Amino acid sequence: MPILNHTKTFMLLAAMTALFGGVGYLVGGVTGMMIAFVIAIGLNVFSYWNSDSIVLKAYRAKPAADFQNNTKVSAYLADTRKLAERAGLPEPKIYIIEMDQPNAFATGRNPDNAAVVATTGLLNMLERDEVAGVMAHELAHIKNRDTLTMTVTATIAGAIGLLANFALFFGGGRDRGGLIASLAIAFLAPIAASVVQMAISRAREYEADKSGAEILGDPEPLARALAKISGKAELMPDRTTEANQSMAHMFIVNPLAGQKGDSLFSTHPATQNRIEALMSLKGMGAGAFQPAQSSPQPRPDDGQVSPWVAARRKGKRSSGPWG
């Protein structure tokens, strides 16, 4: 099954690249196709080196060590570190987003430069073993290099949309179908790119669920977590993702309101399908994860201390919602 999923991802990426080149050719012939690929390479290089910092800044993520006096965060830190060791991964940077919607994601170009993020809503809603299940899923994304794959697909999808706009405004000339062809490219190419991007995302979610269950040694905590958070996420709109929907695929459950199931335009598989797939792994035989016993101490690489934490250390009362 992992080989099949990786093959499917490769084929979908190839389809995305071919679509990109095809749109470039229709817009400007061979020259247009070459320019398109140069632009794609430039965008991908930029995304490769900066995707994690861009996403973390967009969501105003804070290092989890800033919340070290919160027991739920202490457990989150300790268990994530232990799960990373269990998965054979370098310790990721661990962040928190102060947001009511229960959700989580991973980002970074490779396991050595990765970060995991949980919202305060997720930590408040779930039991400790369920949070561990979610983090095992996110660490599986890092281990499977999904964070890089999804960055590349999102970048190419955005570039296809840009090229399609060029087709609309500059046209392809009479020999390439004229105005009707340009309109078709402008409207259909971005849709096709989105469909491929979402197909890759759904395939990666199933694989991360399976790998996450293997890291945890038990699929049930992740299944329970998915059941709890999927419906709640739809009722608590995430304004940042609603404004930039190309980031929706990163989250463990769909952060966009009103989208359900394995439909053509859904970034995530239906939750019930994921739960059933997870529960079919019950009794996989691996030793179940045991939560870390001691509260972790802050690490230098967890980031700088936020102003409200500094204020608390000076004896002032914090105004933070987790103070």
- Contact call for residues 308 and 318 (beta carbons, < 8 A): yes
pLDDT attached to residue 307: 41
Top pLDDT among 28 and 323 is at 28
Give the pLDDT mean for 182-201.
69
pLDDT over 90 at 266, yes or no = no
- What does each C-alpha distance from 295 to 85, 249, 312 come to in angstroms? 16, 32, 20
pTM above 0.85, yes or no: no
Q: 128-178: per-residue pLDDT in tens?
A: 999 999 999 999 999 988 887 776 676 666 667 766 766 666 555 545 455
Report the mean per-residue pLDDT for the chain.
Answer: 76
Give the pLDDT mean for 20-47.
74
| Dihedral pair phi/psi, residue 131, rounded to 5° | -60, -40
Which residues are known catalytic residues?
Answer: 138
pLDDT attached to residue 120: 95
Lowest mean pLDDT among 64-68, 121-125, 211-215, 225-229: 64-68
pLDDT over 60 at 306, yes or no = no
Residue 123: closest CA among 207, 210, 62: 62
Cβ burial 253-266 (10 Å sphere, 16+ → b, else e): bbbbeeeeeeeeeb
